[in-house]
Chain A
Amino acid sequence: MSSLRTGFRCLRDIRQTGKAATAQWQPTSTASLAYRPRQATNATRSITTTATRLAETTTEIIPSDLEPADQGRSAVVQVPYARAVPVSPSYFSRKPIFNDAFVIVQDLARKYARLPIIPRDKVTPTAWRTKEQYRLAVGEHVKGRDYATCMKLAKRLNQIHPDLMPEEVTAGLLPFKREVNYYLNQPKIQPIDQYGRSHGVGKRKSSVARAWVVEGTGEVLVNGKPLSEAFGRVHDRESAVWGMKLTERLDKYNVWAMVSGGGTTGQAEALALAIAKALCVHEPALKNPLRRAGCITRDPRKVERKKHGHVKARKMPTWVKR
């Protein structure tokens, strides 16, 4: 049948094809550049070898010009009939991978529309690929509307009762799922070491505090000094052990801490965070009251950098009339 088009070829505008040939085949010529270095290596070899081997290298250039897979292809050339066909039926849509997957999802949605489903909040959380992630993974510029339509069907299919979920649905939805389902990640359990210590790290402003908490009688050592020596202000002392005070654990644990950087406020509140975290390792049930007391959340505020044209971070220079 392909002869039908070629039969009419004499009627075509040859000039146009010739014009197109110069411009549109440039990418392919750059792609074929990949073969040139191989020739170049041959040439350098011919320089380094003696003159007697010159003839040998000249003949070698021809096979090296070909694909390595084509080297032993004498049987391939013998194929009497060969024609080119597209691999995917969605060839002319420009997005064959997506459209093939989309057709599969549509067929599955139609086929398994009657299977019982479970409510959306009971479904195991699934990490779906966003449109941008899918585009990156597949390399096709999928349209947002098409992807949304596809995802709507895919999420409906994912709601099928897990005991009745067919194999082909699982396989058909695979291209739209992320490789790692981050919803299934488990937090790492912090250990209590052999001496009964738990370790916590806290930060605030530019201070960093590390605290080791062990069961005891309420001794607190900050950088080797008792709390009253480490912090001059009563307010700072109170905030440093705020988590323990609040939960009435002040007399049940000993704390040994190292604090560095920043000023007294930052150090005290960094210490509060570190102690609260270490306390949670001993008693995980305390996490909620500690969080509500504000001891678990890292305060992200930092000193804002100075900008040029400003006196400080945001302060503008005083306006002077000339």
Chain B
Amino acid sequence: MTVRVQEADFDVGAELDKLTHGNKRIGGLAVFVGLVREMHVREGLHRDRIDALTLEHYPGMTEKALEDIEAEANRRWPLEATLIVHRYGRMEAGERIVLVAVGSPHREAAFEACEFLVDWLKTKAPFWKLEETPAGEKWVGAHEGDDAAAARWEKKSQ
């Protein structure tokens, strides 16, 4: 179980090699990489171009929140390895923001736990996006779809 919050970019291949190294019980590794999108679709049909964003976070709380989410995934699924690397600071379109990787003996648990981690970190980890658009800087509002995605897993836990 590893959680890292860092300003620097990460090397996906190197991270995955390190995560699975020496563990021959892993049969499936599910990976999610979040990127900064150039186009951001807002409510309705209106579109704003995003040139870059700055991700603010709450040092100390962020790590605790991600560790709690990771522990919850390990409670729900039989996992051999989990990794969350989340960046903060300024990132331009196309850059990587987040890496979530989950290794398990079987693929079902790896896929499900990876999706769970991404859904929950979006709504439970203290990050805030400040977007740079041609019209100026703008704080991103919470996305209802993210809340709904996170809520699915609340129901499954009952």
- Are A and B part of the same complex? no
Chain A positions within 8 Å of B, measured between CB atoms, are: none
Chain B positions within 8 Å of A, measured between CB atoms, are: none
